[in-house]
Chain A
Amino acid sequence: MRERKRVGITAIGLVTPLGIGSDVTWQRLTEGASGVRRITLFDASASRVQIAAEVAGFEPRRFLDFKDTQRLARVGQLAVAAAELALGSDALAGLDREEVGTIVSSGLGGPDAIFSGVRAHLDGQAVSPLFIPMAMTNLAASLIAHRFELQGPSYSPVSACASSADAIGQGYRLIRDGYAGACVVGGAEGPINPVVMSSFASMRALSRRNDEPERAARPFAADRDGFVLGEGACVLLLESFESALRRGVRIRAEVCGYGQTSDAGHLTAPRPEGDRVARAMTLALGEAEVAPVDVDYVNAHGTGTLLSDPAETRAIHLALGEHARRVAVSSTKSMLGHLLGAAGAVETAICALSIEHGVVPPTINLDTPDPVCDLDYVPNVSRRKPVNVALTNSQAFGGHNVALVLRRAPEQTH
């Protein structure tokens, strides 16, 4: 067996409903700001759900040439923007690009491309050749690999709302086990489309608090009524500690544990007992060799649906035992909405920033918690506290459960 390497995050690119860039996103997260607004990307005036977390002020031309602004599905545009923010300023200098992998996911691919293609077909037209490449869920990985000439392993694990948590876990293992020197990992999602929203609305998964957009995403609150759909992307650079040391780049946080389980149950509803989510958390902590009592922050999946929040609360109790009552838990989806396949990567970045800054972002809109949600959810106001170990949960339609553990990296010697 090859020697296992330790793996660090050395670059972060975020494009979120709270801003374009990791600094602005972090700043607004710690202020408890909401990125939820009335929808502008399509006319939602007749829709049951008229709110979403859009990336306001996104100008594709800043990141893409004219041709790509016209032909790339929204998910691809957001992915390239996040990759440029992470890697654009020579962040790959000194890496052998033959050895750099690209593991970037999307849960849905390009629903806007599917929408246009189906419409053309129903109109009796031949469908655009761009339909397939724009619809495919591996578009983001392909675009990023091409743009930065990354020639190592490249694919896109798809596990709905756990997709980019899996992308990070897969990239981490490729480096840890010596199959890649570094990996560009992450996720992107561009789901704010009338067809996608109508289906989620029919599932009763989305909040209908149309008149109070900023108060609509309210995970763990007694009066929550579903999640708010969001768009955005997160791209991270992972590399071995040796590689970071050789290049003289700072390790923002170590990725040290990855656990996966399946509910093996309902297609969309979470398993109420939370035991299989708990097992993913326990597996990740075990791989990291971190005791439950040493976890300082849990970034919860915390969607704000009726079923998911109590199930995840039970899972945290099961995995952390007595420590569950003391650990800081927050759902940043209360501010960012739910970025589906991009959520796990965004929330991993938030854990890294939390470790770096010693601040836990809050769960906003949490005035009256659901009595069965009985943890410390850091309500409404961010909290300054040292964070040495953070765990982020992702649970997905399809029953996919993923947990990732991050910890503070030892000080670099450069």
Chain B
Amino acid sequence: MNSYEAILRDVAEFLATNYDIALHSLAPEATLEDLGFDSLGMFSVMTLLENKHGLRFEGAMLGGLRTVGDLLALLRAQSSGA
């Protein structure tokens, strides 16, 4: 099940467990850096999604991610509903 909603649920759970952050409370323009979400955090959530949803994220896809909105757009593009 690779729906955008299912992916978002897993990302929300990851952020709550590992960063004490509520995804639904974030503004799209909030920057990942300000959230303390560094490259290792990004790689961790991508690995989780690869394991659980069979997605494949190439390094080049991650380079331009700066904000929560950028991340959500990437996840939407990767979901089966895209």
Contacts and interface: CB of A to CB of B under 8 A. Distances in A.
B47 A70 contact: no
B47 A126 contact: yes
Contacts of A67: 18-20, 36, 41
Nearest to B36: A67
Which of A65, A127, A129 counts the most B-chain CB atoms under 10 A from its CB? A129
Contacts of B19: 66-67, 70
A71 interface: yes
Contacts, number: 29
Contacts of A70: 17-19
Interface in A271-286: none
B18 A71 contact: yes
Secondary structure call for the B interface: helix
A207 to B, nearest CB: 37
B18 A126 contact: no
A125 interface: yes
A68 B30 CA distance: 21
A329 B45 CA distance: 52
A130 interface: yes
A369 interface: no
Contact of B44 (A65, A66, A125, A130): A130
Nearest to B17: A70
Interface of B: 17-20, 36, 40-41, 43-44, 47, 50-51
Given A66-B20, A71-B40, 13 more contacts: A67-B19, A67-B20, A70-B17, A70-B18, A71-B18, A120-B51, A125-B51, A126-B47, A127-B47, A128-B47, A129-B44, A129-B47, A130-B40
